[in-house]
Amino acid sequence: MREGESLSIENQKLILQKYADEHGFLNCKFYVDDGYSGANTERPAYKEMMNDVENERISTVIVKDQSRLGRDYLQTGLLMEITFPQYDVRFIAVNDGVDSINGVNDFAGIKNYFNDLYARDTSKKIRAVQRAKGERGERVGTAIPYGYMKDPANPKQIVPNPETAPIVRRIFEAYASGLGIMKICDRLTADKIVSPGVYAFQRDGNRSANPDMSRPYHWAQTTVRKMLSNQVYCGDTVNFKTFSKSNKLKKRIKNAPENILIFPDTHEAIIDRKTFDLVQKHFEGRKRPDKQGEIDKYAGILYCGECGSRLYLHRGKNIDSAKNNFMCGGYQRRTTDCTSHYIRESVLDRIVLENLKEMTAYARENAEEFYEMAAQNGIIEAKKFGRSAEQERKQIETRITQIDNTIRCLCEDRAIGRITPERYDSLAAGYESEQNELHEKLAELERKAAELDLQEQYIRKFIEQAREYIEMPKLTAELLRVFIRRIEVFEKPEKYSRTCGNTIVIHYTFECDKAFMAEELGKSA
């Protein structure tokens, strides 16, 4: 592998130095942008050169050919015909025979246009290649996410980095347990964990993240926030999250969700999917940390039982924590005709914790009975589904095969002139539309079957975790993450009552269709 400048840059410097020596140009300085496209006007050395031009430090600019100055014909034409003459700068393109001292070259503008056209065509081809790679499920981004490294056996694949993957796990676990992003950054800094940008520079000399070497242990909140929302960490490849409108506009624009392609389980995960999903739920809820740096532990879990809006936590620096309370977001914003659903955080904690203790104790002490009870609805549904699904699957597959044979016959009829091309196009389009609908139905059947298969896994996992978490002195974000997927709060039967409590519905992680109810009377005063 070559080190330092590329061979192209080396040859260009030899050509330019020879030209300068032969024509008596002294006090020369090279402006080199190795690895940058000529279509990019933000390249560092180019900007430095233009700054020197504007400060009248340059008398002559010499390039191998016009494309080395730039491939944007508007920008390059502006430089050659306006900017350089304005600052009395002589411009020479050696191979193109252009020298501004001889006056305007009539073909210079045409060459600039063809240089631009070449850059546009190259960009189009590269985009097509990248699109094809992305649609095959290959990674199209060049940056390796923090926590991963290239697989030594296959550079196209990524594997967890043994040095940084544990730090990624630590960040996710801390946030899932209720710690705020600022507090996480403070702890990483206190433990002298090198930031991702500095680590990349120390490891590979990569400066793309603008590492601050004066503060190697400084973690920015945006860094942690992006890391917590990066689906790559649960083993998925996510392509086309951003796009640019043209090769001239370098700004990346967020793509619409329907245009983003996600390929699950393409590499080894650092974060299990359940933890990742929990973190995303927290982002959906209130994320403002309290004075201790902790976020609302119910974020992404607590919802209104009537309108489905999130319930938001109300607290303040000068308010006693015992008076912290939740209210319906739809009611607060007046986006729904809902009521307040007011409930104290302490009351909700007591109800949920008591019910959770009962549920986990029952799962530990009566594992088989718990399994039968939790799986009952799933078993009934599975039996109903199993009887009809297999027959429906066979019918769909048979019809798909019939359509394939019909289209094949239509192709033969068109080839020998039995039907007109227009008639063929009309018939084939109808059959292909029907076939696409059948493929969608088949995929839905398979998805439903997979969900029913997962039912047993969810229940067994709940029982295992119930055996791990025996002591539960207080309700924490970790307990909610492990055992509960959703909590719904309903309005009090007697509005404004100080003795009548709210009805609370708890949906546990074993995904049972019949939610387990926890109803308690709680004083809201």
Mind listing the pLDDT tens digit for each residue in 203-227? Answer: 888 777 788 888 899 998 888 989 9
Amino acid symbol at 412: E
Q: What pLDDT is recorded for position 348?
A: 93
Determine the Cα–Cα distance for residues 411 and 431; give it in Å rounded to an integer: 13
Q: What pLDDT is recorded for position 497?
A: 66
Determine the Cα–Cα distance for residues 453 and 460; give it in Å rounded to an integer: 12
Q: Give the pair of three-digit tokens for residue 280.
A: 């995303």
What's the CA angle centered on 444, arms 438 and 450, to 5 degrees? 140
Q: Give the pair of three-digit tokens for residue 372.
A: 């039968």
SS3 track for 339-408: CCCCEEHHHHHHHHHHHHHHHHHHHHHCHHHHHHHHHHHHHHHHHHHHHHHHHHHHHHHHHHHHHHHHHH
What's the CA angle centered on 390, arms 389 and 391, to 5 degrees? 95
State the DSSP H helix or E strand holding residue 425, giving kind and residue range, or none if neither. helix 421-468
Ranges of residues in the chain with a pLDDT under 50 are 1-4, 286, 512-525
Of 269, 165, 174, 147, nearest to 481 (Cα)?
Answer: 174
Q: What pLDDT is recorded for position 2?
A: 45
Determine the Cα–Cα distance for residues 338 and 22; give it in Å rounded to an integer: 85
DSSP SS3 for 99: strand
Q: What pLDDT is recorded for position 521?
A: 30
Question: How many CB atoms are located within 10 Å of the residue 284 CB?
Answer: 11
Of 449, 457, 460, 447, nearest to 383 (Cα)?
Answer: 449
Of 481, 485, 490, nearest to 512 (Cα)?
Answer: 485
Exposure letters 26-44 (e unless 16+ CB within 10 A, then b): eeeeebebeeeebbbbebe
Which residues lie below 8 Å from residue 230, measured CB to CB, with a gap of 6+?
A: 145
Determine the Cα–Cα distance for residues 66 and 341; give it in Å rounded to an integer: 70
Q: 321 with 294: CB under 8 angstroms?
A: no
Q: What pLDDT is recorded for position 1?
A: 38
Which residues lie below 8 Å from residue 390, measured CB to CB, with a gap of 6+?
A: none
What's the CA angle centered on 91, arms 87 and 95, to 5 degrees? 170
Q: 295 with 286: CB under 8 angstroms?
A: yes
State the DSSP H helix or E strand holding residue 119, giving kind and residue range, or none if neither. helix 108-135
Question: How many CB atoms are located within 10 Å of the residue 295 CB?
Answer: 23
pTM for this entry: 0.52
Determine the Cα–Cα distance for residues 457 and 179; give it in Å rounded to an integer: 29
Q: What pLDDT is recorded for position 208?
A: 75
Q: What pLDDT is recorded for position 520?
A: 32
Determine the Cα–Cα distance for residues 171 and 276; give it in Å rounded to an integer: 11
